[in-house]
A and B are shown apart, each in its own frame.
Chain A
Amino acid sequence: MPRISPSDITPERVYLSRRNFITGMGALLVSSLVLSACGGQEPTPGAAPTTVSPSSTADTDELGQSLTSYEAITNYNNFYEFSFRKEGVARLAADFKTSPWEVEVAGLVHNPKTFDLQDLLAFPQEERVYRLRCVEAWSMVIPWVGFPLARLLKEAEPMTKAKYVRFETLYDPEQMPGQKSPVYPWPYVEGLRLDEAMHDLTILATGLYGRSLTPQNGAPVRLVVPWKYGFKSIKSIVRIELVEEMPVSLWMASAPHEYGFFANVNPEVDHPRWSQGTERLIGEGKRIRTMLFNGYGEQVAHLYEGLDLRKWY
């Protein structure tokens, strides 16, 4: 009988990088244990130390699209709390303080609870390679590190009255100069229907490319909902509230006819001012056709059966 070595099944580069990734996670665990043992010292936040070189277990998403480079993901950001310029966010966010950090889970739950970063990192972290489609018609493929939001919500035990989840970003104009702009009703707010929030594809991300999240990508913890436009994936979350009524997001409040609550990626429903039919894949320099639900229709289309996607954009 022929012997099968692991390298026959998994290409060496892939399992080596996976090993790298696991080492990174281990290193974090160890370092956080050591640091908390010292007491008083502030632990390094994030899913993995930033000394680990960016790595991922995959080279492409499940459709064969290449991962966007780490450099592009961390230097091209829509994060109006820091800057309206995508290339300007990374520099302005460099000193953003992500530790200590607390996320309050409240509202219609039996077990309200405040999670600090260590609590969040105690949930088993896994890698998810997702397409990110911005409402501005560009896209990336990103290897996130995180865990399903459902796990956290289950710990809080939502009441039967709870129908929606409302998320809020940190409000700190001293650190986030963009919040001094009177143009938008800060802080940033987003929302999901409870079934969307409980869906396995919906994650809270704490890292990407095997490293902890950078501030420009929403450190220390952000939402990722891959079948919706990027603005739904709220960054630097401090509050998660279970509510009965549909929350009003920042974008719904500032331009209700342009941005709706659902914001599902849909090439058939254009933005009032531009087409959503195609998107430019960042780093590839090519334009591709946009897919309904960003290509996750098989997993999520059933959530919207009977819903007029044109009306509920």
Chain B
Amino acid sequence: MVLRDWLRRSWPQALTHAAALLPLARLLWGYARGAFIVDPVREITTLTGRTALMLLVLTLACTPLHTLFGLKWVLRVRRALGLYAFLYAALHFLTFVGLDYGFQLDLLGPAIFDQLYVLPGFGAGLILLILALTSTRGWQKRLGRNWKRLHRLVYLAGILVIVHFLWLVKDIGEPLRYGAIVALLLLLRVPRLRDAVRNARRSTLAFIP
């Protein structure tokens, strides 16, 4: 009874938690039954990285979905999505430093500074860390108007992640597709474009009897 009420009220949150935890469950399940035989480090690295990127894109999509299409419930899951994006980014980072390089500092130095793709990823992770730490209501109050300014950095994180992805692959198809989505979501934040889309939508709606 209680559960049913909670689900009726909070289905967006429930859906978000379930969907966001699914890749982690898949990873642990796969690891437990020994599915990653050949190159587990690479599998775990790509799975956590790709999931972090997907969740970040979904986080970025929340505001446009609300302002353009009037979906209110997306705002209720935006913070959770962002925090899950940070969780997977953190796991991705720990995989790189711990599983892959075994915390060997002598190997990690060149790994971080000689590989073009590492620094943008590192930068994006750092931004997500700061945003995760200041995501509480307390910090929201404390920072006031600056909170919103600070949290606009999420777009920079999005761009850095795309650069990170582009620089590490041989075949750039997939990062380009994600890049196009991020670019679109960014463009939709430009006031003039946003208003144009909103007006176009209103005028089409007006014709619907």
- Using CB atoms and an 8 Å cutoff, list the residues of chain A in contact with chain B: 71-72, 75-76, 84, 86-87, 136, 138, 183, 270, 272-275, 277-278, 280, 282-283, 285-287, 289
Whether B116 contacts A272 by the Cβ 8 Å rule is: yes
Whether A76 contacts B101 by the Cβ 8 Å rule is: no
Return 30 A-B CB contacts under 8 Å, by A number.
Answer: A71-B37, A71-B38, A76-B38, A76-B39, A86-B39, A87-B38, A138-B39, A183-B171, A273-B117, A273-B168, A274-B114, A274-B115, A275-B110, A275-B111, A275-B114, A275-B115, A277-B110, A277-B111, A277-B114, A278-B107, A278-B111, A280-B39, A280-B41, A280-B42, A282-B38, A282-B39, A285-B40, A285-B99, A286-B102, A287-B102
Tell whether B204 is near chain A: CB-to-CB under 8 Å. no
Given contacts A75-B38, A76-B39, A272-B116, is CB(A84)–CB(B107) below 8 Å?
no
B114 contacts across to A, CB distance below 8 A: 270, 274-275, 277
A285 contacts across to B, CB distance below 8 A: 40-41, 99
Give the residue name and chain of the A residue nearest to B104 (CB). A287
Whether A72 contacts B38 by the Cβ 8 Å rule is: yes
Cα–Cα distance between A285 and B39 once the two chains are bound (Å)? 7
- Using CB atoms and an 8 Å cutoff, list the residues of chain B in contact with chain A: 37-42, 99-102, 104, 107, 110-111, 114-117, 167-168, 170-171
A275 contacts across to B, CB distance below 8 A: 110-111, 114-115
CB distance from B164 to the nearest CB of A (A): 11
B37 contacts across to A, CB distance below 8 A: 71-72, 75
B107 contacts across to A, CB distance below 8 A: 277-278, 287, 289
Looking at chain A's contact residues, the main secondary structure is loop
B171 contacts across to A, CB distance below 8 A: 84, 183
Cα–Cα distance between A273 and B169 once the two chains are bound (Å)? 9
Q: Out of B101, B115, B116, B117, which one reaches A287, CB within 8 Å? A: B101
A87 contacts across to B, CB distance below 8 A: 38
Give the residue name and chain of the A residue nearest to B113 (CB). A275
Please name 6 further chain A to chain B contacts, defined as beta carbons within 8 Å, in addition to the given A71-B37, A86-B38, sorted by A numbering.
A71-B38, A86-B39, A273-B168, A274-B117, A275-B111, A287-B102
Q: Nearest 4 CB-CB pairs, A to B?
A: A275-B114, A76-B38, A274-B115, A72-B38
CB distance from A160 to the nearest CB of B (A): 39
Whether B101 contacts A283 by the Cβ 8 Å rule is: no
Given contacts A270-B114, A275-B110, A275-B111, is CB(A280)–CB(B38) below 8 Å?
no
B101 contacts across to A, CB distance below 8 A: 287
Cα–Cα distance between A282 and B104 once the two chains are bound (Å)? 18
Whether A280 contacts B100 by the Cβ 8 Å rule is: yes
Q: Out of A136, A273, A286, which one reaches B116, CB within 8 Å? A: A273
Cα–Cα distance between A110 and B171 once the two chains are bound (Å)? 41
A71 contacts across to B, CB distance below 8 A: 37-38
CB distance from A251 to the nearest CB of B (A): 10
Cα–Cα distance between A84 and B174 once the two chains are bound (Å)? 12
Give the residue name and chain of the A residue nearest to B174 (CB). A84
Given contacts A84-B171, A273-B168, is CB(A283)–CB(B116) below 8 Å?
no
CB distance from B54 to the nearest CB of A (A): 18
Give the residue name and chain of the B residue nearest to A73 (CB). B38
A287 contacts across to B, CB distance below 8 A: 100-102, 104, 107
Cα–Cα distance between A270 and B104 once the two chains are bound (Å)? 20
Cα–Cα distance between A278 and B115 once the two chains are bound (Å)? 12
